[in-house]
Amino acid sequence: MTRRAPIAAAVAVVAAIGAAGWNAAAQQATDVESLTFLGKTVTAAQLVLGQEDYAANCASCHGANLEGQPDWRRRNENGRMPAPPHDANGHTWHHADRQLFTITKLGVSAIVPGYESDMPAFEGILSDDEIVAVLAFIKSTWPERERGFQAEVTANDEGGS
Amino acid sequence: MMNEHSRTGSPLGRRQALAMLGGVVLSGLSPARWAHAGGAVASALAFDGGALVVAGAQVWRHDLSGGASATFPTPRAHIRALACHPARTGRLFAALEGGGLDRSDDGGRTWHPASGGLPMPQVTAVATAAGAPDTVYAAVAGDGLWRSEDAGENWSFVMDRPWIADAEREVLTIASVNLASGMGGIWIYAGTERGLTRVPDCFCRWQDVVAGNAMDALVAGTPPAPETPLPEGEPVLALTSAMAAPERLAAALPSGLWASSDSGVNWAHRSGHVAPALAAHPTEPSRIAAITADEVILSHDSGASWAALPTT
């Protein structure tokens, strides 16, 4: 089996769910067998759950195709930054697994004290397992280069994979 | 999404109006006159190979090994800021008064435009990336931070201006500081009209300068406040970091010259000189040059003592 074969399998599973609007990112879905989050292998079932939870909780701001809000590098009138993309155009893949989990669960201010963001802390809204699933789903959409970079950042961070 | 390059030729909008206002604010932060080098007013400097390049109304190149100095004509306009990289000796980037950016590949003798796609408002600061000699950052007044990854041929917008004390603040000076950000890259420090800030070179968010990287802050919870930060609210007019010792920074404020040996967390006041430009030697971090109102000065001990350079 080639390295890409499991990717196709993962894409097939995700595609079978039939989520509308899931197109470009799914094309770049990656090897589910090699995908980890916080050191644990991600399953296809987690990706399905992650996609559902992403659509329900994240897509309204970060975009159905993970594209972020328009002009996301330009600050809003209230001084806060728009929601960035989670695809390869954004910077999510520069953050270690632990950072991503903490930001999602506790908010950006958990990483940058005092930082004001429109993104809520998802503690109490999503379970830890659901947060992991969402982030695993986002990771699964990254091209190989970005996944490799993020894996290195995570490996350099204690507690990462 | 708006085409970043479309900003360059668009009608006067909020950003352009802010840029014009920014220019007024910035001019208010500058003294009426600065030192002369080679017979002309100077406002920018950089170490390039074995030379100190001082620029303004013209370019003055001083051989630090005791050799001759030379004076060259300015590019299209007065030079406001300079940047270079030790891996590209002879290549200089110059932010021009009134807007635009030029590049020299021969140590300042000749210049050509290097601002493809860069908006026209004043470039207030320019720096090369410590780990990528062909990557250049430019801060544009009223706008934000732009990046070129091909030595100035093409530019793209990467980050809005820092948000400090409930407002966007002008970037007066930037320095690529070769310290791990914890996000797979390094930091870009910025001196603003309201103090010091920094952003990882993935450009996720401006943040305060604290000990360690972002993950350290996470592990520690709320990081301890610096014991001796820079004076609160003062503009940081110039900032420099030596590539050989990136944890050592020097900053110029209206209150004088300051030095840090812990990546900009704590600072010590080193002299009362007021300087619009600073440069640290890339391989000899104790060697720092500054332009003051009267002279070009050089320190060999991280700013503890200074001597004037003969510039005529």
pLDDT of B7 strictly over 70: no
Per the CB < 8 A criterion, the answer to whether A9 and A32 are in contact is yes
Helix (H) or strand (E) holding B24: helix B14-28
pLDDT at A3: 37
Contacts of residue A110 in chain B, CB cutoff 8 Å? 218
* Interatomic CA distance for residues B279 and B285, integer angstroms: 10
Which range has the worst mean pLDDT, A5-19, A104-118, B150-164, B184-198?
Answer: A5-19
What is the pLDDT at residue B12?
40
How many whole angstroms separate alpha carbon B207 and alpha carbon B199?
Answer: 6
C-beta of residue B141 within 8 angstroms of C-beta of residue B159: no
- What is residue A28's predicted lDDT score, i.e. its pLDDT? 41
Q: Is the pLDDT of residue B3 over 70?
A: no
Residue to substitute from B7, B140, B160, B179, interface A, most A β-carbons within 10 A: B160
- Examine the pLDDT at A50 and tell me if it is beyond 80: yes
What is the arithmetic mean of pLDDT over A64-83?
Answer: 94
A159 versus A145: which is more confidently predicted?
A: A145
Give percent of chain B above pLDDT 70: 83
Which of A62, A67, A74 is most worth mutating to test chain B (most B CB atoms within 10 A of its CB)? Answer: A74
Give residue A119's pLDDT band: very low, low, confident or very high (50, 70, 90).
very high
CATH 2.130.10.10 is the classification of domain B4-293:
yes
> How does the average pLDDT of chain B come out, rounded?
86
Beta-carbon separation of B203 and A73 below 8 A: yes
Helix axes A44-57, A5-17, angle to 10 degrees: 40
DSSP symbol at A126: B
Instruction: Name which of B202, B219, B223 is nearest A94 (Cβ-Cβ).
Output: B202
For the segment A144-157, the average pLDDT, to the nearest whole number, is 92
Q: Do B166 and A108 touch (CB under 8 A)?
A: no
Q: If you measure CA to CA, which chain B residue comes closest to A85?
A: B204
Q: What pLDDT does residue B37 have?
A: 66
- DSSP conformation class of A31: -
Q: Which residues of B150-186 are buried (b: 16+ CB within 10 A; e: fewer)?
A: ebbeebebbbbbbbbeeebbbbbbbbbbbbbbbbbbb
Contact between chains at B217 and A71 (C-beta distance less than 8 A): no
Nearest to B292 by CA among B281, B306, B312: B306
Listed range (A4-8, B31-35, B108-112, B119-123) with the worst mean pLDDT: A4-8
pLDDT in tens, B146-180: 999 999 999 999 999 999 988 999 999 999 999 99
How many angstroms away from the CA of A89 is the closest CA of chain B? 11
User: What is the pLDDT at residue B38?
Assistant: 59
Chain B contact set for A75 (CB, 8 A)? 160-161, 163, 168
pLDDT at position B218: 57
Average pLDDT over residues B193-204: 94
pLDDT higher than 80, residue B287: yes
Cβ distance A95 to B183 less than 8 Å, yes or no, reads yes
- Which of B14, B157, B218 to mutate: most A Cβ within 10 Å? B218
A77 at B interface, C-beta within 8 A:
no
Residue A113 scores a pLDDT above 80: no
Angle at A88 between CA A82 and CA A91, to 5 degrees: 50
Q: Any idea where the domains of chain B sit in the sequence?
A: 4-293
Instruction: Go through the domains of chain A in sequence order and give each one's CATH number.
Output: 5-155 (1.10.760.10)
> Which pLDDT belongs to residue B223?
62
- B14 vs B79, more confident: B79
Chain A contact set for B218 (CB, 8 A): 98-99, 102, 110-111
The pLDDT of residue B90: 97
pLDDT per position as a tens digit, B201-235: 999 899 989 887 656 655 555 666 778 999 998 99
| Contact (CB<8Å) A91/B204 | yes
Confidence of residue A124 (pLDDT cuts 50, 70, 90): very high
Angstrom distance (rounded) from CA B157 to CA B140? 10
Window from A12-26, B70-84, B213-227, B289-303 with minimum mean pLDDT: A12-26
Asked if B192 and B235 count as a contact pair (C-beta separation under 8 A), the reply is yes
**Residue spans of alpha helices (H) in chain A:** 5-17, 24-27, 44-57, 59-62, 97-106, 128-140, 144-155
Contact yes or no for B174/B189 (Cβ under 8 A): yes
Least confident interval from A96-100, B17-21, B265-269: B17-21
- For residue B144, give the chain A residue with the closest CA: A74
Global ipTM = 0.74
What confidence score (pLDDT) does residue A1 get?
A: 34
Q: Please tell me if residue B131 touches chain A, with a CB cutoff of 8 Å.
A: no
pLDDT given for residue B34 in this prediction: 58
How many CB atoms within 10 Å of residue B228?
12
Least confident of A65-69, B25-29, B279-283: B25-29
Q: Examine the pLDDT at B33 and tell me if it is beyond 50.
A: no
**Going by C-beta distance under 8 Å and a sequence separation of 6 or more, which residues neighbour residue B65?**
B50
Put simply, the chain B residues between 220 and 239 with a CB less than 8 A from any chain A CB are 222-223
Size of interface A-B (CB pairs under 8 A): 74
The structure's pTM equals 0.84
Q: Closest-CA residue in chain B for A86?
A: B204
> Do A108 and B205 count as a contact with CB atoms less than 8 A apart?
yes
The span from the CA of B204 to the CA of B247, in Å, is 22
Per residue in B53-96, pLDDT (tens digit) is: 999 999 999 998 887 889 998 888 999 999 999 999 999 999 99
Question: What letter does residue A120 receive in the DSSP assignment?
Answer: P
Q: What is the pLDDT of residue A32?
A: 64
